[in-house]
Structure 1
Amino acid sequence: MLQLSENHISHLRNFNGRYTTEMANSRSDIIIEKYRIPRYERIPNTSLHGIPLIHYKSAFPKSTDAGKIGDVLRTNSWTPSWRYTMYTDSHFHSTTHEALVVISGAAKILLGGDDNPDAVTITANTGDAMFMPAGVAHRLLEDIGGRGEGFTMVGAYPVGGEEWDMCYGRGGEEGVDEKVKGVGGVEVQDPVSGGVLGGGE
């Protein structure tokens, strides 16, 4: 497993972004973990654009409803598109980045692909957010805190990049690397802070 080094962790207050009034948590309460995961077989992960996967711990108070979370995402130029859990099959998107905000439950999530020695496992809790760059494989490993609706997220995509595909790192998936490179070359706003991500961040 890829070990998380100190330079992967920072407080959101160090970001040069703006913060919306709907986010009741103070900046110092939001912890960011960044992961750059190397390519594994047919899964690009972050190797083609260098943009890290970002896990924002406690981005929103646990009591924040999905509507307000959607307002924050829209303010930061992301379009909320669905509310659901995460698929248990490892998959990635080659045509767009993805933002995920946990609105109920908790889960262990595998990043980087099954059997990948550099894969990362994170625990995502209610109120956490994730920026999932194009090309990064992810899947639900274990629902560990399901109550009521169980582990549920709001999924969103950058304005202009709302069309997503489903890739699994299998044969027959054409032009994946070129698509991921193309997405990585376009600046995108941070879904939580509104700052700019892109080009190696």
Structure 2
Amino acid sequence: MLRSHVVEKPTDSRPATEIFRLAPDGAIPNNTNPALVYRGVFSQRDDAGAQWLEKRFADNGWTDAWRWSVYPFHHFHSNTHEVLGAFAGKALLQLGGEHGPEVNLRAGDVLVIPAGVAHRKLREADGFQVVGAYPEGREPDMRTGLESERETTEKAVAKVPVPAADPVFGADGLRVFWR
């Protein structure tokens, strides 16, 4: 199901970026744009880390922020992209559906999830917590890949625009990786 997984080290000061290109998984549409993991983006932890993420995301137009963990079941959003910034602990997540890749996320990492890409938490440790947000504060729907959702979700995912800015790196971020 995974089409490719690449680690890219940009020539500027940005950290290494893990790029996950995910093919449709029958029940899960996924997206032609890849999921991105930015490693070690920030050093603050706990409340200071959460505040840093909330401010950085909001400064780049990703709002409606929340603090929590990640659901332990496959889910995705057909109407918006999502960003998750880990500010405490660590977790093993799975992307793209039942046969998708497993990704370790730890405090200091940021995961950018395109609309349609399933994600779930497999396990966590050390009080894993994230700040989540959405471009332009969009209100996310909740999809789980039900057969009855398939036709409408695929059409909805295709209509979600690429955000004006990357949640961490601003105007120069996402357009390097997304079309």
TM-score past 0.5 threshold: yes
- Residue 196 (structure 1) shift: 5.0
Matches within 5 A, 1:1-201: 2=2, 5=5, 8-14=6-12, 27=13, 30-46=15-31, 50-63=32-45, 64-114=48-98, 116=99, 119-143=100-124, 145-146=125-126, 150-159=127-136, 161-173=137-149, 175-183=152-160, 185-194=161-170, 195-197=172-174, 200-201=178-179
Residues 73 and 80 of structure 1 are in contact (CA less than 8 Å); yes or no, is this contact kept in structure 2? no
Distance 1:139 1:126 in 2: 17
What is the percent sequence identity of the aligned residues?
36
Which segments of 5 or more consecutive residues in structure 2 lack a partner in the other structure?
Answer: none
User: Alignment partner of 1:140: what SS?
Assistant: strand
Unaligned runs of 5+ in 1: 15-26
* Secondary structure class of the residue paired with 1:73: helix
Aligned residues: 174
Structure-2 separation of matches of 1:13 and 1:92: 32
Q: How far does the alpha carbon of each residue in 1:59-86 deviate from its partner, in whole angstroms, 9 at most, with x for none?
A: 1114342112211111111104210010
2:86 counterpart letter in structure 1: V
Superposed CA deviations along residues 13-53 of structure 1, whole A, max 9, x for unmatched, are: 54xxxxxxxxxxxx35x22101110000121112xxx2110
Instruction: Look at both structures and tell me which one has the larger radius of gyration over its CA atoms.
Output: 1
Between the aligned partners of 1:139 and 1:181, the Cα distance in structure 2 is 22
Distance 1:104 1:141, change over 3 A: same
Runs of 4+ in 1 over 6 A off after TM superposition: none
Aligned partners of 1:100 and 1:155 also within 8 Å:
yes
Change (3 A) 1:141 1:111: same
- Which whole-Å CA distance do the structure 2 matches of 1:137 and 1:112 have between them? 5
Alpha carbons 2:43, 2:49 under 8 Å: kept: no
Cα-to-partner distance string for 1:109-131 (whole Å, 9 max, x where unaligned): 001111x2xx1111000010010
SS of corresponding position for 1:191: coil
Residue 21 of structure 2 contacts residue 34 of structure 2 at CA under 8 Å; is this kept in 1?
A: yes
Output the TM-score relative to the length of structure 2: 0.88
Distance 2:131 2:168 in 1: 13
Instruction: Give the distance between the partners of 2:30 and 2:138, measured in 1 at CA.
Output: 20
Question: Distance in 2 between the 1:66 and 1:104 partners?
Answer: 9
